[in-house]
Structure 1
Amino acid sequence: MTLEQVILEEILPRVRRPARYLGTEWNAVRKNWGHAAVKMVFAFPDLYEVGMSHLGLQILYGLVNSRDDFLMERVFAPALDMEGELRKNGLPLFSLESHRPLMDFDVIGFTLQYELTFTNVLNMLDLAGIPYRAEERRDHHPLVIAGGPNAFNPEPIAPFIDAFLIGEGEEGILEILEAAGEVKGGRSRASRQEMLERLLDVPGIYIPSFYRKEYTNDGRIKEVVPLHPRAPERVPRRVLDDLDTAYFPLSPLVPLAEAVHERGMLEVFRGCTRGCRFCQAGMIYRPVRERSPETLLSQAGEIVKNTGFEEVSLVSLSSLDYSDIQDLIPRLAGGCEATRTGLSLPSLRVDSFSVKTAKNLPGRRTSITLAPEAGSQRLRDVINKGVTAGDLIDAVEAALEAGWFAIKLYFMVGLPTETKEDLEGIADLVESVIKVGKGRCHNRKRLRVTVSASSFVPKAHTPFQWEGQDARDLLKEKHEFVRSLIKKSRAIYNWHNIETSFLEACFARGDRDMAAVLEGAFLRGCRFDGWTEHLRFPLWMDSFQAAGLNPDHYATRCFAYDEVLPWELIDSGVSKEYLIREHERALAGETTPDCRQVCGECGVCASLGVATHLVEGRG
């Protein structure tokens, strides 16, 4: 029997949700294996239902398969029951479309969306029969590459990856595959060393084996030394300059098994101008580049026609910041109503304009999410959130008027400079929202308020990258305190697992030594660590101890401005001077204007040669 026959006839009947592994989705691409010069598998290190909701997968899958000479298939992290079946039967991890072993591909490309999927990366390579340490791979093994937001601090996972693509992947992925095809020539496999040498010609490529880090006596990084004469001292990120001409999938994959988000995704723009000081995405996706309304209307129509999705969602970091939003939404809504398709926004800004605009979206009212982030105006100024308590109340009133009776409020606990008064401010805001609900909901549904709180995680390439995370005991104390206050208002208070946030901080700020911890946790059986039911925190602590590392050195320690940070060899385009200036302004409680209004001189446009592109608003 072939591997495909064994999987379909013997393995899938024994696992839950076998549709995760069929690969027969609407719009899936199945190419002639022998006709493709270079074969790549896109590896998403989480469950199918999470990965199939990722826009980046849809873009790269469609883009690569649009080329006659390239082939891209998919693989997701197998659930624990499927992993058990593969290991018990001695079967390799396989791609969905052709059910071929991952060893058969030329390139395996991981997307790194979340720090706590790193153990899944190692597990997927191990299941595929591929050495998870890059130094142990030989010419007959596939090239293992990675990209995504977590590649902006690649060091904790660097020993397991052959090469990273930094930044937006549409152009870079094709250049990588073209390079692989050139080196491979007529051979069945490319020389690994030749391949890495050739990849140095591709902008945005970071090859960990071509660098060495030297440390001081106290364990801090002294300098980063390139080991190859052509290895750049800093690796600049890739960025597209024109989204209207960029590839976008008009026939995206339609999930078989229920996904986290089952809807067509319409990317209205990339980047953000708000300048929130905790937000990594707002820094590493600069500058803002908007698609034209005509492009978006055309794409929306094609996506609905080619998929049958019942909803289209506007995707960006803050979709209602789109310059022509007041004209775009009615035009999109008109098209959606004609096909009985819903139109949604993942979340809204904390202002009544956003809610009133969202009121015009077709579809049923469920809940609305608003993110004040902090409880006091002082702390909102520190993080440069740019909203007031009055903005929140106006937004709640507009939401009730528009027919929403369930509101989710999102806050962060443990932000830099936070005080008891800031935490009390969260409860005060919630109480104010509930009072508005009582005044507006006479003889109607009672307003339901849910508060979701995360713990602050300092991220690379942000003004708060030098700040440490609060100790776990202190974070627990703060969450318990806020919950006790909010309990009186009968709102629901949920908070993100503190131990999970602690590990996120360790990897977000970690250096290459963290790879030993990652490997140790994987060997101890850690999988799906971002899922609370799967997290085994004591095993992680055992792994830190075995590696001789103190996790607080990474998570809770404040870094100095003159310290060499693990991720400084990655050039996001945002200057260190700007980040220091923003950090100092934060500590002084000073805000910075939206760069749509005043240029903040962050350095992105000049260093990357890409300018902000805004459409002309008519609203």
Structure 2
Amino acid sequence: MISWKLVQKARRTLEKERGTVRKPWGGKRTICLIYPNTYHVGMSNLGFQTVYQCLNSEDDIVCERAFLPDPDDLREYDDTQTPLLSLESQKPLPEFDILAFSISFENDFLNVLTLLQLAHVPVESQLRGEEHPLVIGGGVSVFLNPEPLTEFFDLFILGEGEEVIREFLDLYRQAFPKKGRGEKEDLLKRAGRVEGIYVPKFYQVAYADDGKIRAMNPEPGFPPQVKRRWVKEIDRFQTRSILFTPETEFKEMALVEVNRGCPRGCRFCAACFVYHPFRNRRLSSLETLSKVGLTDERRIGLTGTAVSDYPHLLSLCQSILSQQGGISFSSLRVDAVTSSLIQCLRAGGSQSVAIAPESGSERLRKVLRKGYTDEEILNAVNTLVENGIRQIKCYFLIGLPSETDDDVKAMILLAKKIRHQILSNPRGQRERWRVVLSINPFVPKPATPFQWAPLEEVAELKRKLKMIRKGLEGEKGVEVIHDLPKWAYIQALLSKGDRRIGKILMAAHRHHGEWGLALRETNINPDFYVYRKRDLDEIFPWDFIDHGIPKERLKEEYLKAMEEAGIKI
């Protein structure tokens, strides 16, 4: 039975969209691209839109979308036993050949299980037969570490997808020359030999008595390391918004990707290392993409892992302004804040800018390899205020390796200095302004120099947040926002976990997201993954992925950071 209410809602959603691709199914291979969060979140993701465009550019492929339903819709699905429906044609997901998940964040892992159950598809891969869709996964959280999800997926695509997706589709056509005719096992064996494709069933993990990984061995014919794919010439692909809807974070804005990777090498930052090497698009390409974007929306959102490091950023902004377009960035490097650039942003309609000091103390910023001085940060703030920016958002981390209470107090002091800097400026005195401190617990990520570090204990993170809130009480115009430390614990567990964490995910799924019950039910000690400092020679669950940077180089950076912090290893 299909709920007419759910069908009608999907059609109303489509009526608000521009750029939707609709294709007849006859004789074509069908893929449902799934974002494991709500429509509002998924449609704000440029990577998700890029894969949608890539798949639909193939004549014999129909790619439609699905998202995590809103709470009211979840109840309707349960009450009517409707299998999860695709957005474009409102077809049940079991009718598709492939279910492809795009997973950006570890905290969405649990939603993957929810969506498979809603689709009436067995959650565990070993329970799925030839009659079920192939289930594949990609996205940055997956190519950091897919191991906690291995029980639920047939294969993963590790890295940037534009090229490897087409290689996978060629294999699929060979294995399934006629729609619905072929064998999954044959496809998986062929796929596992393609650079960037990981088929977990062909890799066996052995554990030592102390719970650490002793070895990970591939079956004969499969590579011991899977190379993370990256696109050498990113200008070959037009990475820009192609779907537009008011039901998204970036309404009235067309996103354009400026670059990938980062030249800075901040030791905590996963994006710097897993999108290595640093690549910029040509100015002429970006001018063309922006011109096309302005035919769809009135503003251009420039995105990338290092937008501030684009060498022609000012020229690009001036080009957009010359076409009467608005401009927006996600954030700016402190040393990229110049009067000319901020004047462009203001002329393009921006009143808010984000910067990322990360820590309140110069000592700790040096440990992170983000060595801005307080003076440089305050000069940037002054430039922002002088040029009419009314809201400044500052990103900070707590729980960083070697962090002390003095470092936390330095964050409070820096926030007060920022406020004083604003009030010292004549524009800050006569105009309304706001400083937002966005404070998040530091979660160590795979494939970074800090992958050996533990998460700081939740109780300590709570204490430090309380110290910051109390220290900034009464500071008019300063607002503090933060994530809950308990979610940092779950994120660290999923980020640094191995295959055994799949059992915790299954338990959390059974208990409808009650992580406390799930952690108590399983015989796995989550602190082993979250709070334990890793041995220097330890085999990590993600070591089978060749991210393009040798582990020894990451270790050298980690040891150097600890030496600078005064910590003996």
Answer yes or no: is the 8 Å Cα contact 1:406–1:447 preserved in 2.
yes
The structural deviation recorded for 1:331 is 1.7
Counterpart code for 1:429: L
Matches for 1:209-288 after TM superposition, within 5 Å: 209-226=201-218, 228-249=219-240, 252-255=242-245, 257-259=247-249, 262-288=252-278
Answer yes or no: is the 8 Å Cα contact 1:351–1:394 preserved in 2.
no
The structural deviation recorded for 1:364 is 2.6
Tell whether 2:378 aligns with 1:378.
no
Answer yes or no: is the 8 Å Cα contact 1:53–1:262 preserved in 2.
no
Counterpart code for 2:337: F
Counterpart code for 2:450: F
Match of 1:422 among 399, 404, 407: 407
Tell whether 2:459 aligns with 1:473.
yes
What CA distance in whole angstroms lies between the structure 2 residues aligned with 1:177 and 1:274? 35
Match of 1:552 among 522, 527, 549: 527
What is the percent sequence identity of the aligned residues? 35
Answer yes or no: is the 8 Å Cα contact 1:352–1:391 preserved in 2.
no
Match of 1:511 among 498, 501, 511: 498
Answer yes or no: is the 8 Å Cα contact 1:113–1:149 preserved in 2.
yes
Tell whether 2:549 aligns with 1:562.
no
Answer yes or no: is the 8 Å Cα contact 1:348–1:355 preserved in 2.
no
C-alpha distance 261-215 of structure 1, shift in aligned 2 (>3 A): farther
The answer for the alignment partner of 1:535 in structure 2 is: none
Q: Deviations over 1:445-472 (max 9, x none)?
A: 2432221100010100000000001111
The answer for the alignment partner of 1:393 in structure 2 is: 378
Answer yes or no: is the 8 Å Cα contact 1:50–1:260 preserved in 2.
no
TM superposition score normalised by structure 2: 0.95
Answer yes or no: is the 8 Å Cα contact 2:36–2:109 preserved in 1.
yes
What CA distance in whole angstroms lies between the structure 1 residues aligned with 2:48 and 2:386? 38
What CA distance in whole angstroms lies between the structure 2 residues aligned with 1:196 and 1:119? 25
Match of 2:117 among 107, 119, 126: 126
C-alpha distance 395-256 of structure 1, shift in aligned 2 (>3 A): closer
Tell whether 2:435 aligns with 1:449.
yes
The structural deviation recorded for 1:229 is 1.2
TM superposition score normalised by structure 1: 0.87
Matches for 1:172-191 after TM superposition, within 5 Å: 172-191=164-183
What CA distance in whole angstroms lies between the structure 2 residues aligned with 1:328 and 1:10? 46
The answer for the alignment partner of 1:342 in structure 2 is: 326
Match of 1:483 among 469, 479, 483: 469
Answer yes or no: is the 8 Å Cα contact 2:260–2:306 preserved in 1.
no
Q: Deviations over 1:83-104 (max 9, x none)?
A: 2111211211011111111111
Partner secondary structure for residue 26 of structure 2? helix
The structural deviation recorded for 1:23 is 7.0
Tell whether 2:50 aligns with 1:59.
yes
Tell whether 2:41 aligns with 1:50.
yes
The answer for the alignment partner of 2:307 in structure 1 is: 319
Matches for 1:21-100 after TM superposition, within 5 Å: 22=14, 25-36=17-28, 38-100=29-91
The structural deviation recorded for 1:506 is 0.6
Give the RMSD, CA atoms, in angstroms.
1.8
Partner secondary structure for residue 382 of structure 2? helix
Name the stretch that deviates more: 138-147 or 400-409: 400-409
Matches for 1:343-362 after TM superposition, within 5 Å: 343-351=327-335, 353-354=337-338, 356-361=340-345, 362=347
Counterpart code for 1:548: N
Q: Deviations over 1:178-226 (max 9, x none)?
A: 2112111124243121111121232101111111111111111111111
Counterpart code for 1:496: D
The answer for the alignment partner of 2:292 in structure 1 is: 302
C-alpha distance 519-296 of structure 1, shift in aligned 2 (>3 A): same
What CA distance in whole angstroms lies between the structure 2 residues aligned with 1:334 and 1:260? 22
The structural deviation recorded for 1:356 is 4.0
The structural deviation recorded for 1:443 is 5.2
Answer yes or no: is the 8 Å Cα contact 1:110–1:147 preserved in 2.
yes
Counterpart code for 2:307: S
C-alpha distance 443-463 of structure 1, shift in aligned 2 (>3 A): closer
The structural deviation recorded for 1:442 is 6.2
Tell whether 2:141 aligns with 1:150.
yes
Counterpart code for 2:257: E
The structural deviation recorded for 1:303 is 2.0
Partner secondary structure for residue 84 of structure 1? helix
What CA distance in whole angstroms lies between the structure 2 residues aligned with 1:401 and 1:187? 63
C-alpha distance 413-45 of structure 1, shift in aligned 2 (>3 A): same
Q: Deviations over 1:502-528 (max 9, x none)?
A: 1001111101110000011011112xx
What CA distance in whole angstroms lies between the structure 1 residues aligned with 2:428 and 2:271? 41
C-alpha distance 355-510 of structure 1, shift in aligned 2 (>3 A): farther
Counterpart code for 2:163: E
Counterpart code for 1:319: V
Gaps of 5+ in 2: none
Q: Deviations over 1:385-411 (max 9, x none)?
A: 131111111111101111012211111
Tell whether 2:387 aligns with 1:402.
yes
Counterpart code for 2:352: S
C-alpha distance 478-388 of structure 1, shift in aligned 2 (>3 A): same
The structural deviation recorded for 1:143 is 0.8
C-alpha distance 443-468 of structure 1, shift in aligned 2 (>3 A): closer
Counterpart code for 2:564: G
C-alpha distance 442-224 of structure 1, shift in aligned 2 (>3 A): closer
